[in-house]
Amino acid sequence: MPLLSVIVPIYNEANTVREILAKINAVNIEKEIIVVDDSSTDGTDKILIDVRYDNLKIIHHSSNRGKGAAFLTGLANAKGEFVIIQDADLEYDPNDYAVLLNAISGGKADLVLGARFLKGQRGQFMHRMMDRFMVSTMNFLFGSKLNDYSACYKLARKSTFESLNLRSTGFNIDMEIICSALKKRLIIKEEAVSYSPRSYQEGKKFGFKGMFRVLFYMIKSRFVN
């Protein structure tokens, strides 16, 4: 059984998918890589045909169902003791896996988050302000002291993810994982990770519309079972 299952939800990442999978594969950790292509339309599926690693499993959705649905498909097929989410856009460095695994070993945490800003804020000014507003709101609602409200890297035992009874099919999966963990009073630890944000011109998808959608979900999650 592999130590770590790396789940990579992918939708239209033809420009980066080959590179990110090479980076993941190069990490010297016993692992499997589970790519879930969420019905990409930009040729990502054709690129994946040519990517072959012994520890790579590729699953294709027949229709676009969302990041959350892709993660849940990956989770259902994961064989590792631990599971981590990896975006395919090169903003995060897979070499940080070891730091996150060390933080969770020994049972000192139930969920480890790769916090983007513990090494200092980076990225566009407006996006930084949105991040600070959102994490402050989360900490107020849940009585937490987190530094990052939407960390991409979330590492936990597979059984922990399954215990959260996750249902979100879209980008809200990131918030659902953290909010559910906070409501269950799981021990959450943050570790600083490398972060190289891409611009909106380069394909960054999150903006004000996404912020208000996540904010609504955050408030709903706090007060509705």
Domain boundaries, the chain: 4-223
Which helix (H) or strand (E) is 221 found in, with range? Answer: helix 208-223
Decide which of 3.90.550.10, 1.20.910.10, 3.30.1200.10, 3.20.20.80 is the CATH code for 4-223.
Answer: 3.90.550.10
Structure tokens at 178: 């953290």
pLDDT tens sequence across 210-222: 778 888 888 888 8
pLDDT for residue 216 = 86
The residue ranges of DSSP E strands in 132-221, in sequence order, are 154-157, 188-192
pLDDT for residue 121 = 54
Flag residues of the chain having pLDDT under 70: 1, 118-127, 198-208, 225
pLDDT for residue 106 = 76
Task: Report phi then psi at 50, rounded to 5.
Answer: -90, -5
List 7's β-bridge partners, or say none. Answer: 34, 85
pLDDT tens sequence across 14-66: 999 999 999 999 999 999 999 999 999 999 999 999 999 999 999 999 999 99
- How far apart, in whole angstroms, are the C-alpha atoms of residue 60 and residue 38? 6
Q: Is 204 exposed, middle or buried (0-12, 13-18, 19+ CB in 10 A)?
A: middle
